[in-house]
């Protein structure tokens, strides 16, 4: 008598393989997302550094920061940050002698990144609305 063996995989074996692949894919996806957000944070910091440099150039040419928020030196890097999904908040001291710009990062704690006219580059936890404000004593990162 000849016994014919069926060839192939059982449904249990296939389900185990699919489950293993799903777990591995989830692990990879979490790690990839973290690296993407780190790259976005680096882009925010780079654009904020550009704003800082452009503010210094604007101050040299105009003697104050009063019109910098509408200048291309601010609006172009600010638009790049906005196009990536984050907003830039800016504040100027009333007399135009100080300038501050802030953006929220993509990291898990939603820290902010602030630059100001003193050359400070600060990562902090204060909301951008309170970090950079217009006013008589404002225009600096807190």
- Domain residue spans in the chain? 11-131
How far is residue 59 from each of residues 67, 110, 132, measured CA to CA in Å? 10, 30, 18
How far is residue 96 from each of residues 16, 28, 38, 79, measured CA to CA in Å? 66, 49, 34, 22
> Is the whole model's pTM more than 0.85, yes or no?
no
Residues in the chain: 142
Q: How many angstroms separate the CA atoms of 95 and 47, rounded? A: 26
Sign of CA dihedral 19, 21, 24, 30: negative
Q: How many angstroms separate the CA atoms of 75 and 60, rounded? A: 18
Q: How many angstroms separate the CA atoms of 134 and 96, rounded? A: 10
CA 91 to chain centre: 19
Question: In a structure prediction context, what are the per-residue pLDDT tens digits for the chain, which is 142 residues long?
Answer: 667 677 788 899 999 999 999 999 999 888 888 888 888 899 999 999 999 999 999 999 999 998 888 899 999 999 999 888 888 888 888 888 888 999 988 876 778 899 988 888 888 877 787 777 777 777 778 7
3-state secondary structure of 112: strand
- The tokens describing 82, both together, are 């906005």
Q: How many angstroms separate the CA atoms of 119 and 55, rounded? A: 10
């Amino acid at each position: 008598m000849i016994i014919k063996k069926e060839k192939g995989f059982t449904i249990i074996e296939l389900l185990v393989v699919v489950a293993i692949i799903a777990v591995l894919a989830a692990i990879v996806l979490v790690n990839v997302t973290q690296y993407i957000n780190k790259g976005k944070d680096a882009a925010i910091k780079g654009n904020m550094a550009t704003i800082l440099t452009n503010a210094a150039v604007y101050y040299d040419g105009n003697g104050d920061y009063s019109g910098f928020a509408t200048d291309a030196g601010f609006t172009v890097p600010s638009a790049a940050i906005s196009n990536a999904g984050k907003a830039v908040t800016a504040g100027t001291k009333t007399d135009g002698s100080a300038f501050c710009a802030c953006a929220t990062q993509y990291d898990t704690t939603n820290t902010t990144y602030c630059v100001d006219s003193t050359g400070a580059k600060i990562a902090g936890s204060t909301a951008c609305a309170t970090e950079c404000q217009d006013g008589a004593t404002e225009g600096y990162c807190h």
